[in-house]
Amino acid sequence: MTRLLRTYCLAIIVLFLSAATLPAQEEVLRFQKAFARLDEFIAQHMREANVPGMAIALTSRTGLLRISTYGFADVAARSPVTPETLFEIGSISKSFTCIALLQQREAGRFDPHAPLTRYLPWFHVNSKFPAPITAHYLMSHTAGIPRDRDDIPTSRYQAAALRERETAFPPGAHFVYSNVGYQVLGYLVEELTGQTYADYIRTHILDPLGMTATQPVITHETRKRLAVGYERFYDDRPGHPSQPLVPATWFEYGAGDGSIATTSAELAAYLRMLLNRGQSLTGRIISEESFNLMTQRVIKAGEDAFYGYGLRLSESDGHTIISHGGGMVGYQAMLVGDLDAALGAVVFINGPGNSGRVAEFALKVLRAALYNQDLPSLPPTESPTRVENAADYAGTYTAGEKTITLVAEGTRLLLVHNGERIALERRGKDRFYVHHPDFNLFLLRFGRKGEAVVEAFHGPDWYVNARYAGPTNFDYPKEWQAYPGHYRTAHPWFSNFRIVLRKGALWLIHPEGGEQAVVPLGEGVFRVGNEDYSPERLRFDTIINDQALRANLSGCNYYRTLTR
């Protein structure tokens, strides 16, 4: 079946490139070589990242170029991923929500710059700033509201409960990604159209694009056709390829920030519409003006990217790239399109891996084939224990009565622990994973004074070496001693975090290893993040035996658990 499908897709390539100067057979050969290089890359990535299954669709502006599937939709049953397998696409759904609203704008029912309360009288967020929140700010993630409130999946209460929050900055001033903002936008679609969000998306986007297999809401019935989503066995610590995979927690979902499940081919049809600036084979989904609004550069959203309405905009080799990633519990997806080369890729994964990295490589090989350029080389398979500057970190570090010793051996950095020599694995600048049960809850981080490494951090522990010359004692409010601990909630999306007290400051440590400062704002309220515009707020309560039993993160309650 796979061989027949690829033969069909190569026939489309001949039609797509029929106006080129080279003979069609040479054109087909170039794309065959590109596809083979992509398959090599994917095989390498699946081995390195322990990917259970993957589906990819490659498209031009005029037609589907290729569908390929890899691995298992159900590992236990040994069921392979097929072209018909559904995957949850998470936040790629946000662009569908924006299209629905822009369709309403074209119909004269909606103004993205009008106060949101014109359409949703119940919507309210406390704000000290005079400018009202509009749909424009929610669509561009510039409203100043929190990222999530993950206590009740797909409940309108999550949107209504924003009235308990405060905006952190004037609307439009900063880019702060907010899923709950798009949940509000989904309810706005319902208010404007008199239909459920799912029904409207079905009749006005999916059906016109021929996306008959796509589900606009994820229900128990959808689950029968979905690839099984997988997570690592441990949900409370940085991941490692050695950790086994387990089926992810299942839940239904129907809000406007991430409710769609589809096949790679059908999302490629949606991407073709975007490559054609809102035009499909059966007519326009949105006008050229609406497409320009979607792809306007509203706000800088990273070093080399901007955000419009439900899409990211960036540049690559002088080409304009539109993209968006999506993540659900057990699933990840990426949509990327080159508006100038008129090429794009869709990538789905049902577990660990990096869908964005795969999509980026897929687009590179497509462009190389189109322009008759050399194919990109496979990235070198480099050992995670290779540390070019290992000597920077070597030495002995102390934290009270605790001591750690690091030894550099060429490009390997070894932790000497209880007679063992453990090779550290790099996880970014000055960050390492220690593959040992005594250290695997946290990443081992290092701090520098100028170019010299002078300190190390591991969870609550702060170590210094002989080069450290700063203070060693720090003042902090006594009540903070009640806050460190491990907190959990029932929702699987962001199920747990740890609070540590280190160097006289509180830190929130995410399971995957990221750390954010917890900054006091007064009256028992803390800001999460060093940025003064961060909207995330943290509170602690129910102090018993000098321990806080509950932490409230941006409206969601987490409870102290038995593990450290």
CATH number, domain of 26, equals 3.40.710.10
Residue of 208, 121, 107 lying closest to 163 (CA atoms): 121
Question: Which residues lie below 8 Å from residue 151, measured CB to CB, with a gap of 6+?
Answer: 158, 489, 490, 491, 555, 556, 557
Q: What percent of the chain is modeled with pLDDT above 90? A: 84
Supply the mean pLDDT for the chain.
Answer: 92
Q: Are residues 397 and 525 in the same domain?
A: no
State how far the Cα of 490 lies from the Cα of 494, in Å rounded to an integer: 9
Give the number of domains in the chain: 3
Beta bridge partners of 541: 550
SS3 for 64-131, per residue?
A: EEEEEEEEEEECCCCEECCCCCEEECHHHHHHHHHHHHHHHHHCCCCCCCCEHHHCCCCCCCECCCCC
161 assigned to some structural domain: no
The reported pLDDT for the residue numbered 493 is: 84
Q: Are residues 315 and 357 in the same domain?
A: yes
State how far the Cα of 507 lies from the Cα of 476, in Å rounded to an integer: 13
No. of helices (H) and no. of strands (E), the chain: 11, 31
* Calculated CA dihedral for residues 348, 60, 37, 68, nearest 10 degrees: 40
SS3 378: coil
Residue 458 tokens read as 């591991």
Domain boundary among 324, 342, 370: 370
Residue of 183, 102, 101, 106 lying closest to 141 (CA atoms): 183
Across the range 361-388, mean pLDDT stands at: 93
Q: Are residues 236 and 278 in the same domain?
A: yes
Do 424 and 415 touch, CB atoms closer than 8 A? yes
314 assigned to some structural domain: yes
154 assigned to some structural domain: no
SS3 30: helix
SS3 32: helix
The reported pLDDT for the residue numbered 150 is: 62
SS3 394: coil
89 assigned to some structural domain: yes
Q: Are residues 460 and 529 in the same domain?
A: no
Across the range 139-162, mean pLDDT stands at: 81
pTM (2 d.p.):
0.92
Q: Are residues 89 and 18 in the same domain?
A: yes
75-106 exposure pattern, b = at least 16 Cβ within 10 A, e = fewer: beeeeebbbebbbbbbbbbbbbbbbbbbbbbe
Q: Are residues 62 and 202 in the same domain?
A: yes
Q: Are residues 322 and 216 in the same domain?
A: yes
Residue 376 tokens read as 């990109």
Residue of 298, 301, 352 lying closest to 330 (CA atoms): 352
Q: Are residues 350 and 414 in the same domain?
A: no
* Calculated CA dihedral for residues 296, 301, 304, 308, nearest 10 degrees: -10
338 assigned to some structural domain: yes
Residue 324's Cβ-side half-sphere holds a number of Cα atoms within 13 Å equal to 26
* Residue that is written with structure tokens 């990273």 in the block: 302
The reported pLDDT for the residue numbered 13 is: 46
CA separation, residue 494 to residues 241, 255, 524 (Å): 21, 17, 23
Q: Is the pLDDT of residue 21 over 50?
A: no
CATH number of the domain enclosing 493: 2.40.128.50
Question: What does the pLDDT look like over 265-309, one tens digit per residue?
Answer: 999 999 999 999 999 988 999 999 999 999 999 999 988 899 999
The reported pLDDT for the residue numbered 490 is: 86
Q: Are residues 208 and 357 in the same domain?
A: yes
Q: Is the pLDDT of residue 225 over 60?
A: yes
Instruction: Kindly calculate the radius of gyration of the chain based on its CA atoms and give it in whole angstroms.
Output: 25
State how far the Cα of 37 lies from the Cα of 402, in Å rounded to an integer: 49
329 assigned to some structural domain: yes
Domain boundary among 464, 494, 528: 464
Range of the domain at 412: 390-464
Q: Does an H or E element contain 60, and which? A: strand 53-60
State how far the Cα of 198 lies from the Cα of 369, in Å rounded to an integer: 38
Domain boundary among 464, 488, 507: 464
CA separation, residue 441 to residues 434, 512, 555 (Å): 9, 9, 26
The reported pLDDT for the residue numbered 94 is: 98
Across the range 141-170, mean pLDDT stands at: 81
187 assigned to some structural domain: no
SS3 556: strand
Q: Are residues 211 and 328 in the same domain?
A: yes
Q: Are residues 509 and 484 in the same domain?
A: yes
Across the range 40-59, mean pLDDT stands at: 96
306 assigned to some structural domain: yes
Q: Are residues 347 and 244 in the same domain?
A: yes
